[in-house]
Structure 1
Amino acid sequence: MTTTLAPPVPIGKSAVGALGILALSTGALESVVAPTIPLLERELDMSQSEGALLSIILLITGALITPLAGKFGDRYGGKKILIRLMAVVSVGGTVSALAPNLPVLLVGQVLQGAMIGALPLSFIVVRKHLPAGESKVAIGVVSGLFVGGSMVGMLSAGPVAEQLSRHWMFALPTLAVIGATLLVNRLMPTDPPGRSDDSGIDWPGLLLLSGMLVTLMLVLALAPEAGSQPLPLVALVLVLAAFVTGWVRVERRAAAPMIDLRMLARPAIWKACVLTFVICLGATMAVYLIPQLLDERGDGYGFGAGATEIGFFLLPGAIAATLAGPLGGIGDRRFGSRAVVNTGVVMMTAGLLAVAAVHTEVWHLVVGKVLIALANGLCVTAMMTSTAAAVDKGDTGIATSLILVSRVVGSAVGGQLGGALLTAGTPSGSKVAAESAYVTGFVIAGVVVSLALFVTRTMSKGVKA
């Protein structure tokens, strides 16, 4: 005798809106540390190396949690895992808000890193409750609001920390996350669990991936000092190679790998991951370099802007990033992912190279940032929606988790490369980076992003795995 499962309950705009508010809140909480690192270093008596650790710990945690969250969401139901995950995030935000010192703040950031796993869980829920066409638009809305939330957090963190305190820059978005989680729990119907199996968690793969990401960040952090300290850098590169080799072997042999390399071998998936990595690397270099250039006080370059002014100058980019998600979802449905990604890549390359060539007025940076933010949102949303549609519904969480891990790693590498270029371009005894360091950074980012066109040429109009 067979049991017929009841079809999923359709959801309305209010439920999708609740997911969007949650994405906006988590995006804001994710991004408050990056623009306030100098302030946190002063208030918590942190060294630069400790500041670098604080800036990347959330990304590393997110990259580790995301595949597990997607897999558990596919297996046990997206809403169930999403609510539990956001409870962890809420605790982490509270710990960060109350943190009296660096160790406690690091604990809070580790817990907050679980928020990056919320996106694939949202996609699982949306795909189970909406038709294919509507789900693409809904995924675009949620993705766009997460990107927009990240920009809102980056813009507001400095003014909130200066006018109130560093505690409130964590507390305010945490309160929003708690409220949005309660709203999702009330409005979103429970989705049925997917496939069930007896396989356990891939702990060896999780530990090796953790070591790989931490070592990669250390390599990038030490790169500017390669001339004076070559041996530590070489040693770390060898350790990184060992971690990568061990991780690949473990994942290939695991019965239930944390990241399914067989799925990654599908052309649609690995192309989407490569594109996401490259695009996020270029976008994050710009996200780091443009505020630094606005704040810079060089001879003939830079504008000496304060935190509030910088937030105002970056606001148009935040608006563009928010609109990019829904536009990317609609464009993917009407024209296909390849057309959307090609448009975004050309737009971002043009913005990066334009800023490299012309940056003597504030509006040059503002317009460049709008182009870069809009292009980034279009590309990442197209990759998310096309990947989610290219696999079976039961594999949605795992597949989109691969894209999110690529986003996190690309963003971390881009930020570290931008910092390394400015460090290398700062003369000894000076605190002002050379103008050539900024130009080099924008040019490198533009060239790297343009290479994505070689990948998009091999994509079908609508990506299919």
Structure 2
Amino acid sequence: MPDEEYDLNYAYRALLILAPIAIAVMYTEAMLIPSLPTIANDFNVNSATVSWVLTAYLISGVVANPIVGKLGDIYGKKRILVYVMMIYTIAVTLNGFAPNFTLFIIFRTIQGIGLGMFPLAFSLIREEFPPHLVPRAQGLVSAMFGIGSAISLPIAATVAQDIGWQYNYHFVIPFVILLTYLTSKYIKESRYVNPNTKIDYIGAGILGSSLALMTTAFSEAPTWGWLSTSFLITMLLGVVLFTTFIFYELRIPYPLISIKLLKEKNVLASNIAAFVAGFGIFMAYQAITYLLELPNPVGFNLDILSTGITMLPVSLSQMVGALFASRLILRSGTKFVIVISSVILSFFYFILSLIAISGSS
């Protein structure tokens, strides 16, 4: 459709709502990173177990994303976006009052459904914005991830150090409620629906179970032992279920994830790149946090606030990189940007590993 058939004024108004959603969500997720050792101490769990604070959220998001996307196709993307934001708000509220680690992880898992907000938001941008504005709008929303992290690390670290990490959840609730209301009232419903599609709940259950088992094996391996029976059985069950998921998806008419589409070289490569990058970034966040806060000679013995400030450049570079990448993709293509970004990320992770080794020696 030509640009003339779109409402440019609406696009700019909608962007003022959709972009802050990215800020709020990334603020909510990044605010826990400097507090991971404190959370472990408060709930009396070890560093391996506390990693579930991040992994439970990610597993839930990975499984929920395709389901949320298909629900948006069937019932309308704006409607499902509002419902997801309501679920997210409830989970954020409950997390701030979680009395034990088990409930905290359950609420974090529910909160992970909130990752489905972004495919829906990007779809609304793609369908309702003038075509020339779509790349810039999506690049701007992506940059908001960095802004959310950037403002979260020092602010949330200060709150966590002075009055407790739980209060970060309490403070963010009004903003999430406000954004849910604004989305419900001012965002237009998508014009494209596909009510004939179906949702693969069985595949979602198999995928979620396989990821949970493999994550449990890796998380508990330092306690169980890498060659222990518990580790090997748990990992084997996870691999078997994941293999079952792949064969199951090939046989049904409406798969959760199109395995046939992944046979396309470009699709497979981009998904692998996204998985590796996401896995590496979240693992690095936890590892760097512990490196900064552990006492000498293993770590640098920093407090929560100093850790948040030290990690601030990561979020700032993410913000600048998203804006720069969105423009560079238009000029040089996606492949070039992925390759260059991977090289840069690998180089600096290598430097960080050398710093970690020298600091502990």
1:200-349 to 2 correspondences below 5 Å: 200-224=198-222, 227=225, 230-299=228-297, 302-349=299-346
User: What is the SS of the residue equivalent to 2:207?
Assistant: helix
Whether the aligned pair in 1 keeps the contact of 2:153 and 2:309 (CA below 8 Å) is no
Give the letter for the 1:86 counterpart.
M
Whether the aligned pair in 2 keeps the contact of 1:204 and 1:250 (CA below 8 Å) is no
Give the letter for the 1:347 counterpart.
I
Question: Structure 1, residues 217-247: CA drift from partner, whole Å, max 9, x if none?
Answer: 0121233357575211221222122101211
Q: What is the Cα deviation at residue 174 of structure 1? A: 2.7
Provide closer, same or farther for how the CA distance between residues 232 and 140 of structure 1 changes in structure 2, counting only shifts above 3 A: same
Q: What is the Cα deviation at residue 185 of structure 1? A: 2.8
Q: What is the Cα deviation at residue 308 of structure 1? A: 0.8
Question: Structure 1, residues 400-426: CA drift from partner, whole Å, max 9, x if none?
Answer: xxxxxxxxxxxxxxxxxxxxxxxxxxx
Rounded to whole Å, the distance in 1 between the matches of 2:56 and 2:176 is 20
- Where does residue 183 of structure 1 map in the other structure? 182
Rounded to whole Å, the distance in 1 between the matches of 2:246 and 2:360 is 36
Provide closer, same or farther for how the CA distance between residues 59 and 228 of structure 1 changes in structure 2, counting only shifts above 3 A: closer
Rounded to whole Å, the distance in 2 between the matches of 1:141 and 1:205 is 33
Q: Report whether the alignment pairs 1:144 with 2:66.
A: no
Q: Report whether the alignment pairs 1:88 with 2:87.
A: yes
Rounded to whole Å, the distance in 1 between the matches of 2:107 and 2:299 is 35
User: What is the SS of the residue equivalent to 2:96?
Assistant: helix
Q: What is the Cα deviation at residue 131 of structure 1? A: 3.4
Unmatched segments (≥5 aa) in structure 1: 1-6, 360-433, 440-465
Rounded to whole Å, the distance in 2 between the matches of 1:107 and 1:222 is 18
- Measured on the aligned residues, the alpha-carbon RMSD in Å equals 2.6
Question: Structure 1, residues 191-234: CA drift from partner, whole Å, max 9, x if none?
Answer: 2242220x543121011011111011012123335757521122
- Where does residue 400 of structure 1 map in the other structure? none
Whether the aligned pair in 2 keeps the contact of 1:44 and 1:102 (CA below 8 Å) is yes
1:22-33 to 2 correspondences below 5 Å: 22-33=21-32
User: What is the SS of the residue equivalent to 1:201?
Assistant: coil
Q: What is the Cα deviation at residue 58 of structure 1? A: 1.5
Whether the aligned pair in 2 keeps the contact of 1:28 and 1:152 (CA below 8 Å) is yes
Give the letter for the 2:122 counterpart.
F
Q: Report whether the alignment pairs 1:355 with 2:352.
A: yes
Rounded to whole Å, the distance in 1 between the matches of 2:201 and 2:305 is 44
Q: What is the Cα deviation at residue 69 of structure 1? A: 1.0
Provide closer, same or farther for how the CA distance between residues 348 and 149 of structure 1 changes in structure 2, counting only shifts above 3 A: same
Moved more, 149-158 or 210-219: 149-158
Rounded to whole Å, the distance in 1 between the matches of 2:332 and 2:255 is 35
Rounded to whole Å, the distance in 2 between the matches of 1:60 and 1:97 is 21
Provide closer, same or farther for how the CA distance between residues 245 and 289 of structure 1 changes in structure 2, counting only shifts above 3 A: closer
Question: Structure 1, residues 149-204: CA drift from partner, whole Å, max 9, x if none?
Answer: 2454444433212212333111222322222222233332222242220x543121
Give the letter for the 1:310 counterpart.
T
Rounded to whole Å, the distance in 1 between the matches of 2:228 and 2:285 is 29
Provide closer, same or farther for how the CA distance between residues 247 and 151 of structure 1 changes in structure 2, counting only shifts above 3 A: farther
- TM-score, normalised to structure 2's length? 0.88
1:362-401 to 2 correspondences below 5 Å: none
Give the letter for the 1:303 counterpart.
F
Moved more, 286-295 or 137-146: 286-295
Whether the aligned pair in 1 keeps the contact of 2:19 and 2:140 (CA below 8 Å) is yes
Give the letter for the 1:232 counterpart.
S
Q: What is the Cα deviation at residue 46 of structure 1? A: 4.1
User: What is the SS of the residue equivalent to 1:12?
Assistant: helix
Whether the aligned pair in 2 keeps the contact of 1:295 and 1:303 (CA below 8 Å) is yes
Question: Structure 1, residues 365-417: CA drift from partner, whole Å, max 9, x if none?
Answer: xxxxxxxxxxxxxxxxxxxxxxxxxxxxxxxxxxxxxxxxxxxxxxxxxxxxx
Rounded to whole Å, the distance in 2 between the matches of 1:84 and 1:8 is 26
- Where does residue 435 of structure 1 map in the other structure? 357
Q: What is the Cα deviation at residue 339 of structure 1? A: 2.3
Report how many residues are paired. Answer: 356
Rounded to whole Å, the distance in 1 between the matches of 2:198 and 2:335 is 37
Q: What is the Cα deviation at residue 137 of structure 1? A: 1.5
